[in-house]
Structure 1
Amino acid sequence: MSDAGYSGGCQCGAVRFHAGKLGRPSICHCRMCQKHFGNFFGALVTADQAHLTWTRGQPTLFRSSAKIHRGFCNKCGTPLTYHHPGGVEIAIGAFDHPQEIEPQVQVNAHMQMPWIKTLFDKRNTEQSLDESSLVSFQHPDHDTAVWPPEDNVN
């Protein structure tokens, strides 16, 4: 992990953060993480709140249980945070360089999908989408002074 810290944010760029110090990266299989991420599990990393700065906007919080709040961008819906009595965790996929944050442990494994261990054994197919025809309005994976660009405001 980088000594300079890590930056990241939501898909539309309305919420950006810088985390100077990270803890343990994990995958959580609980049903609440499955729902929050709209996926088979949630990938999170603990963040030291003293070294976590919201550099643009802030996540909107949803109280998902008596002790838990989950943060997301209220403009694009990107899942961002998991707040619990012991601190905060950030969605690994929201970082600009998520490949640098490899999960070290799985939690709530008793709730994982029964087929999860065979998921990556499935055959691959060729992608039929012409990627050159896509025009992405997604925020780039780095900090920007202004977003969206002035020529891209709808």
Structure 2
Amino acid sequence: MSALPLTGGCQCGAVRYAVADPGQDAYLCHCRMCQKAMGNLFSAMIAISPKDVTWTRGRPATFRSSDAGQRGFCAACGTPLCYIGDHGHMAITIGSLDHPERHKPKSQDGIQSRMPWFAELTSVRDDGETGGGPDVDWVVAIRRSNRQHPDHDTDQWPPETSKTEARP
């Protein structure tokens, strides 16, 4: 765990939050519902108490994914932000934190849907930061036009910039 509070938000900056007490350890869930909700192979979450969350900019939109709870996400950019259970349970997505590297998962569940090759991911070829090859110019163009909110709170977002100005 890290120093308190935890802060984070969505990709576009429309929704930001602070968590006063991160509560439990980080975990992964491989269940099919989490895979769909995250658009990924698993969800990476930290269980928290809803009373410890302050939405500092905007609020998440929600989708009721089951009779037990709903998924919170940014309505503007679609970033998955949280799971809100009906019985006082809540979890924040690790990927939406300003410092996700500080939260190593301690457990995993939903393993019935875990990809059979999950344990082999560290052996997948590493093409570096840009991947090399003919798409390097494409990667550079993305970096120059990046509209992703920085990993810290800002007074205003997006900043007033021209299309050609490099962003953080």
Fold-level similarity (TM above 0.5): yes
CA distance in 1 between counterparts of 2:59 and 2:100 reads 20
Q: TM-score, normalised by structure 1?
A: 0.92
1:42 aligns with 2:60: no
What corresponds to 2:125 in structure 1? 123
Identity of aligned residues (%): 45
**Structure 1 segments (4+ residues) deviating >3 Å:** 130-133
What corresponds to 1:114 in structure 2? 116
CA distance in 2 between counterparts of 1:2 and 1:123 reads 31
How far the C-alpha of 1:49 sits from its partner, in A, is 1.9
Aligned length: 153
8 Å CA contact 2:50, 2:88 repeated in 1: no
SS, match of residue 150 in structure 1? coil
What corresponds to 1:91 in structure 2? 93
The one-letter amino acid paired with 1:52 is V
Cα pair distance change 1:88/1:152, threshold 3 Å: farther
How far the C-alpha of 1:123 sits from its partner, in A, is 1.9
SS, match of residue 64 in structure 1? strand
The one-letter amino acid paired with 2:13 is G
1:149 aligns with 2:159: yes
Segments of 5+ residues of structure 1 without an aligned counterpart are: none
CA distance in 2 between counterparts of 1:99 and 1:3 reads 13
How far the C-alpha of 1:151 sits from its partner, in A, is 2.9
Segments of 5+ residues of structure 2 without an aligned counterpart are: 164-168
Q: Which has the higher contact order (CA 8 A, sep 6+)?
A: 1
The one-letter amino acid paired with 1:7 is T
CA distance in 1 between counterparts of 2:32 and 2:90 reads 19
CA distance in 1 between counterparts of 2:162 and 2:65 reads 35
CA distance in 2 between counterparts of 1:56 and 1:152 reads 24
CA distance in 2 between counterparts of 1:16 and 1:152 reads 24
CA distance in 2 between counterparts of 1:136 and 1:122 reads 27
Cα pair distance change 1:152/1:65, threshold 3 Å: farther
1:104 aligns with 2:114: no
**1:68-117 per-position Cα deviation (integer Å, ceiling 9, x unaligned):** 20010000000001111241100000000000111110011122111111
How far the C-alpha of 1:132 sits from its partner, in A, is 4.2
CA distance in 2 between counterparts of 1:119 and 1:148 reads 35
Q: TM-score, normalised by structure 2?
A: 0.85
